[in-house]
Amino acid sequence: MKRIMYTILALAFFSISCQAQTISAGPLPSPIVTQNSVEICLNSRYSQHSLSRTAASIQQLSNILWAAGKAPFTGSYRNIYAVTQTGTYLYDPNSHSLSLHSNEVTNDGSFAIRYESELDFDSGVSFMPALLASASLWRSTESPIASCPKGIGYPKARLIFGVQPVRALTTELAAHCSVPQGQPGWLPDPTTTGGNNLEEVLTNLNYINSFTETNLTQQQISQILWAGYGCTAHVSSNGRAGLTVPSAYANYYLTQSIYLVNENGVYRYQNRNPSTNMATRDHRIEQLGSAGDGRRRQPADVNDGQQSADVRGNLQSAVSGLPQAPCYVILCLGSSYVGQEYARLETGFVAGNILIQASAIGLGCHFKTGLSSDEQNSIQAAMNIPTSHIPQAIVSVGQIGAPVSFSVVFQGHGRPDAGWIVPLTVKFFPSGADVFNDTATYEFNLTTAKSATGNTAVCETLGIAPGTYDVTVQGGSTLMNVKRSVVISLPKTSVDLGILLEGDANQDNIIDFTDFAILSINWLGFSTNADYTVRSDLDRNGLINSADLYLLTTNWLKSSPIEISP
Ligand SMILES: [Ca+2]
Ligand SMILES: [Ca+2]
């Protein structure tokens, strides 16, 4: 009995000592991992405007700041501060620690996060993981903690937290598509459950700039649009249907100005019914007409059967630094909102949510910000959207694809520099493939360049899903090399594909009499002659002679595939 009492006392003391921990400079405890998914947190988040002064635990502060620090930023800097009841601390995401910054104390709530950044967009991106991390604490070993972004009385909007009762996390889905399945504009229901947990997703956010070409499914499109700006069951204090993002006075600045561009054309996301009444809910897309149709220029309206166009290439050429991706979400603000901090922050909220959701379902994201006015004009023209919708950021979305660089060695001592610039066919197969009969997962027609060291030819490609492959390579007059079990991983993989054996002029994968006969016919041909055939000029020096015959005989009766050892 006595022992039990001691244990209870020890536990009580321990729990009191946890509560009594004051926030101070130094390392923060590691974040706790909840069992709550990204989707349930997105679906449950809401703002409470009145926030208690009850001190937050150091663990609550840890989880929320850690999440805020996970967000990428695109401008030159972004600083995160915790404004507590004892002072203001600078948060270092790398060491997960605080250093005292100033004596400013919060006059609202338990604590606040304030940001300094070049771009309001970047602060906005970082608001969302912090908000979702606080929602995730609603069902955890920690006390519930409410939140609200506030701007009045501060130089910049900040994120304020209060330890107080909150609603339960909910999977109740409020965002349903009003368009019947199979009709243009239909989106399947997004999931609000999810098989992930928020903190693990935040640990491994897929913020990348190299994607595969694989198009998104309707389910993936539905999920990222809903996460970005979809309806939840929450109703704002002024009677509007709440979204996955907060909005100042529930103004929802991006309503009707979020666009999606994919292989099928340009779409506008609609989270309200066609009346656009903010009290309504919907979850659909509207296809816009193509930019090639001059009659439909300004204002763009719903597609009425005009032909749509894939404008992804136009966007890529219009916007410097935009990655090649299968899907883009273009976040625009009405021209009257562009100057408003709340509105600019909100573009970051949407992008932040899309990144977190995409990471949760195995996709990656990239943000392109700082668009010039020329780029904004070109985007509007390419997409055929109203000139009053000013593009603020482009969120690229797709499967993660690693860039891969290849090197090969060509034969022939007399090969000139120009002879190192050669077309190559490179294929990726599932590991263990029959490279003659199986279908390649990827096939690229590339052109080599001479490497800086001068003894190899190099080329590269984008967009290989990380994994293990058998890779083949073949030049116009060479046998095929195969390298087995090549591991492709981020951020970039280099693959040495060995020496390409010259002489297979007819590309039947064996060097034999047929190739010899072709070389004989072309014997002593000059590159300036009309009948010169490059396939017999094995060293590509512009002359078909004994040097080429030497290469052919060196490789005599060899056949594809030539296995290249790792
Ligand atoms: Ca041959
Ligand atoms: Ca030659």
Which residue type does 155 have?
P
The structure tokens 């390298």 sit at 483
Average pLDDT over residues 18-38: 85
515 lies in the same domain as 556 = yes
pLDDT exceeds 60 at position 68: yes
Stretch 17-35: mean pLDDT: 81
Q: Which residue has the higher pLDDT, 243 or 293?
A: 243
Which ligand is in closest contact with the Cα of 536? 2
Q: What is the pLDDT of residue 490?
A: 87
**Of the ligands numbered here, which is closest to the C-alpha atom of 542?**
2
What is the distance between the alpha carbons of residues 250 and 277, in angstroms, rounded to a whole number? 12
Same domain for 133 and 268?
Answer: no
Identify the nearest ligand to the CA of 503 by its number: 1
Confidence of residue 17 (pLDDT cuts 50, 70, 90): very low
The CA distance from 269 to 258, in Å, is 6
Choose one of 344, 370, 399: the last residue of a domain: 399
Task: Identify whether the C-beta of residue 109 lies closer than 8 Å to the C-beta of residue 161.
Answer: yes
Could you tell me if residue 243 is left (phi over 0), alpha (psi between -120 and 50 degrees) or otherwise beta? beta
**CA 38/CA 18 separation, integer angstroms:** 28
Residue 305 has pLDDT above 70, yes or no: no
The confidence score (pLDDT) of residue 308 equals: 64
Tell me what percent of the residues of the chain surpass a pLDDT of 70. 93
Angle at 81 between CA 148 and CA 88, to 5 degrees: 100
Ligand number, closest to the Cα atom of 522 = 2
pLDDT computed for residue 330 by the predictor: 98
Report CA(29)–ligand 2 centroid distance (Å): 68
pLDDT given for residue 18 in this prediction: 43
For 198-214, what is each residue's pLDDT tens digit?
Answer: 999 999 999 999 999 99
**pLDDT at position 462:** 85
CA 556 to centroid of chain Cα atoms: 49
The whole-number pLDDT of residue 21 equals 59
CA–centroid distance, residue 559 to ligand 1 (Å) = 8
| Amino acid 289: pLDDT | 80
Å from CA of 537 to ligand 2 middle? 4
Q: Assess whether 314 and 412 both reside in one domain.
A: no
CB 268 within 8 A of CB 255: no
How many whole angstroms separate alpha carbon 199 and alpha carbon 133?
Answer: 8
Q: Which secondary structure element, helix H or strand E, spans residue 473, and what is its range? A: strand 467-475
- Tens digits of residue pLDDT in 450-493: 999 888 999 999 889 999 999 999 999 999 999 999 999 988 99
pTM value is 0.85
- Quick check: 12 pLDDT over 70? no
C-alpha of residue 519 to centroid of ligand 2, in Å: 10
Q: Is 145 helix (H, G, I), strand (E, B) or coil?
A: strand
pLDDT at 14 over 50: no
Whether 306 is in a domain gets the answer yes
Q: Which ligand is nearest to the CA of 535?
A: 2
Nearest ligand, CA 534 = 2
Long-range contacts of 142-146 (CB under 8 A, 24+ apart): 142/32, 142/57, 142/59, 142/60, 142/63, 143/57, 143/60, 145/56, 145/60, 145/64, 145/110, 146/47, 146/48, 146/51, 146/52
Beta bridge partners of 237: none
- Predicted local confidence at residue 531, as pLDDT: 76
Distance 455 CA to ligand 1 centre (A): 26
Ligand 1 center–CA 566 separation, angstroms: 26
Average pLDDT score over residue span 114-125: 98
Which pLDDT score is estimated for 422? 93
pLDDT at 16 over 50: no
Encode pLDDT of 287-302 as tens digits.
998 444 433 333 444 4
Across 236-250, average pLDDT: 96
Q: How far is the CA of 515 from the centre of ligand 1 (A)?
A: 5
How many angstroms separate the Cα of 398 from the Cα of each of 185, 186, 319? 21, 21, 18
Report CA(543)–ligand 2 centroid distance (Å): 4
Same domain, 407 and 363: no
Contacts (Cβ under 8 Å, ≥6 apart) of 461: 403, 404, 406, 426, 442, 444, 446
Q: Which domain holds residue 118?
A: 21-163
Ligand nearest to the CA of 527: 2
Query: How close is the Cα of 519 to the center of ligand 1, in Å?
Result: 11
CB 375 within 8 A of CB 465: no
pLDDT digits (tens, 9 = 90+) for 89-103: 999 999 999 999 999
Amino acid at 447: T
Residue 486 lies in a domain: yes
Distance (Å) from CA 507 to ligand 1 centroid: 5
Distance 354 CA to ligand 1 centre (A): 52
In a domain, 6, yes or no: no
Q: Compute, in angstroms, the gap from residue 542 CA to the centroid of ligand 2.
A: 6
Counting the structural domains of the chain, the total is 3
Number of residues in the chain? 566
Proximal ligand: closest to the CA of 415: 2
239 and 386 housed in the same domain: yes
DSSP string covering 505-560: TT-SSB-SHHHHHHHHHTTT-BTTSTT--GGG-TT-SSB-SHHHHHHHHHTTT-BS
- Counting ligands in written order, the one closest to the CA of 532 is 2
Closest C-alpha among 546, 240, 273 to residue 413? 546
User: Residue 115 C-alpha to ligand 1 middle, in angstroms?
Assistant: 66
What pLDDT score does 276 carry? Answer: 83
Average pLDDT, the chain: 92
536 located within any domain: yes
- Among residues 383, 399, 415, the one where a domain terminates is 399
Is residue 188 domain-resident?
no
424 CA from centroid of ligand 2 (Å)? 18
**Distance between CA 489 and CA 404 in Å, rounded?**
9
CATH code for position 418? 2.60.40.4130
The whole-number pLDDT of residue 348 equals: 98
Do both 290 and 341 map to the same domain?
A: yes
Residue 11 covered by a domain: no
| 353 and 446 co-located in one domain | no
Tell me how far the alpha carbon of residue 516 lies from the centroid of ligand 2, in angstroms. Answer: 14
Spacing of C-alpha 490 from chain mean position: 13
Q: Which ligand ends up closest to the CA of 557?
A: 1
Look at residue 11 in the predicted model and tell me its pLDDT.
Answer: 42
Predicted confidence (pLDDT) at residue 352 exceeds the cutoff of 70: yes
**224 by DSSP, 3-state: which?**
helix
Of the candidates 347, 182, 322, the one whose C-alpha atom is nearest the C-alpha of residue 252 is 347
Burial class for 76, CB neighbours closer than 10 Å (0-12, 13-18, 19+): exposed
pLDDT of residue 20: 41
CATH number at residue 239: 3.40.109.10
Single-letter amino acid, residue 427: K
Query: What is the structure's pLDDT at 498?
Result: 97
Of the bound ligands, which one is closest to the alpha carbon of residue 504? 1
Residue 193 lies in a domain: no
- For residue 141, count other CB atoms closer than 10 A to its CB: 8
Are residues 290 and 316 both part of a single domain? yes
**What spacing in Å lies between the alpha carbon of 506 and ligand 1's midpoint?**
5
Residue 275 covered by a domain = yes
**Do 363 and 302 have their domain in common?**
yes
Neighbour-count burial of 479, counting CB atoms closer than 10 A to its CB (0-12 exposed, 13-18 middle, 19+ buried): buried
Check pLDDT > 90 for residue 438.
yes
477 in the same domain as 494? yes
Average pLDDT over residues 526-530: 84
Distance 538 CA to ligand 2 centre (A): 5
216 and 130 within one domain: no
Same domain, yes or no: 141 and 70: yes
